[in-house]
Structure 1
Amino acid sequence: MPATQSIQVTKVALRKSMQKKLTALSQEEKKLQSENVITKLFALPLLQKSKRISVYLSTEDEISTEPILKYIFENKKSCFVPRYSRNDMEMVKLNSMKDWEALPLTKWNIKQPDLSDIRENALEGGGLDLVIVPGVAFTSKGDRLGHGKGFYDTFLTSLEKRQRYAPITVALAFKEQVLNEIPLQQHDVKIDLILYSNNED
């Protein structure tokens, strides 16, 4: 089996095993870990300094990002969220918590702005200072295993080319998602900082 194909097979198996681990976590445990990770995020000067922030809209198997949305709007920062189409992802502006509450659900049960909504695109506006990235698994060194579509790898590569400076990338993880190593390919983009509930403060 060619090396690239072997890595792909390993990634698929890892995604399945990680999904089982996350499904097995109780709601209480997820809530506790989410609160811990969000506290760490809010303590970061880089968050306080950032004015244009991209944040994923979480599912029940991810660190909850609702508190981050509230923080962004309370502090008069600009918020951008993912909007997926079949082969593409863009970051579009979210205007308020009311706007978030009214977003429709996709077939994957994820909130996202409707494709017909006219919204500011982060790449066509002032870019982004901070991108909060989801993922399936991570290492403490910044390696990331995504969901397999390559949306964030492609977006982050495009973003870095479009703006004069590289945005800071932060991933939020349950401790069960942090591994010693994960299989990587050339296109996989490293994350600057991984926050999880039992790493050093």
Structure 2
Amino acid sequence: MAAAAAISGAKRTLRAEMKQRLRALSAEERRRQSRLLTEKVIAHCKYQESQRISIFLSMQDEIETEEIIQDIFQSGKTCFIPRYKFKSSHMDMVKLFSAEEIFSLPKTSWNIHQPRDDEVREEALSTVRGCQDAGQSVLMIQGRRLTASSSRHSSALVSEDLASALSFVTL
């Protein structure tokens, strides 16, 4: 029990430190880093080979993903975004029909656009299994802190189904 409490305290401290560092970044520095990441992602062979891309919608303190989402649609790829259930650890990656659609979606309590729970949409994991022509799939998640073994540590939700389908590629 003491070890669990110590780990929990260390995580709390690390989260606070990371939050402080992210807040200290200027808007210009965040845009610069976003551009660099966007260039790396779009040039990456896995991205180039993939026809189905799952990507998070960025929050104010995260790397901006709008240009990547624009490229997904301009390249004729299929885009999936997160839809999480309130007070649950369940999250699905559901189809987005256009980059412009994002702004018409309702916002969650975290101020993130996502489709309504009662709206039926194609889900990335349920449609790719057993489908020969689905193409490579890429899942991009915001990893505020990644360990050397690529374990992800963030407050974002990743369902067990989703986590079991992941293999990490670092940029």
Q: TM-score, normalised by structure 1?
A: 0.74
Unaligned runs of 5+ in 1: 161-166, 169-190, 196-201
8 Å Cα contact 2:145/2:152 also seen in 1: yes
Say what the alpha-carbon RMSD is for the aligned residues: 1.9
| 2:162 corresponding residue in structure 1 | 156
C-alpha deviations, 1:120-158, integer Å up to 9, x for none?
1112211571110113312455232111x6x22624334
Identical-pair percentage: 38
Residues 109-118 or 133-142, more deviating = 133-142
Give SS of 1:104's match.
Answer: coil
8 Å Cα contact 1:11/1:145 also seen in 2: no
Q: What amino acid is the match of 2:158?
A: Y
Distance in 2 between the 1:8 and 1:131 partners? 28
Give SS of 1:129's match.
Answer: strand
Distance in 2 between the 1:26 and 1:143 partners? 27
Question: Greater helix share, 1 or 2?
Answer: 2
Matches within 5 A, 1:1-201: 1-85=1-85, 86-87=87-88, 88-127=90-129, 129-139=137-147, 141-147=149-155, 151-152=157-158, 154-158=160-164, 160=165, 167-168=166-167, 191-193=168-170, 195=171
| 1:19 Cα deviation after fit | 0.6
Distance in 2 between the 1:153 and 1:89 partners? 6
Unaligned runs of 5+ in 2: 130-135
Q: What amino acid is the match of 1:94?
A: L
| 1:9 Cα deviation after fit | 2.1
8 Å Cα contact 2:58/2:65 also seen in 1: yes
Stretches of 4+ aligned residues off by more than 4 angstroms: none
What is the number of residues matched between the two proteins?
Answer: 163
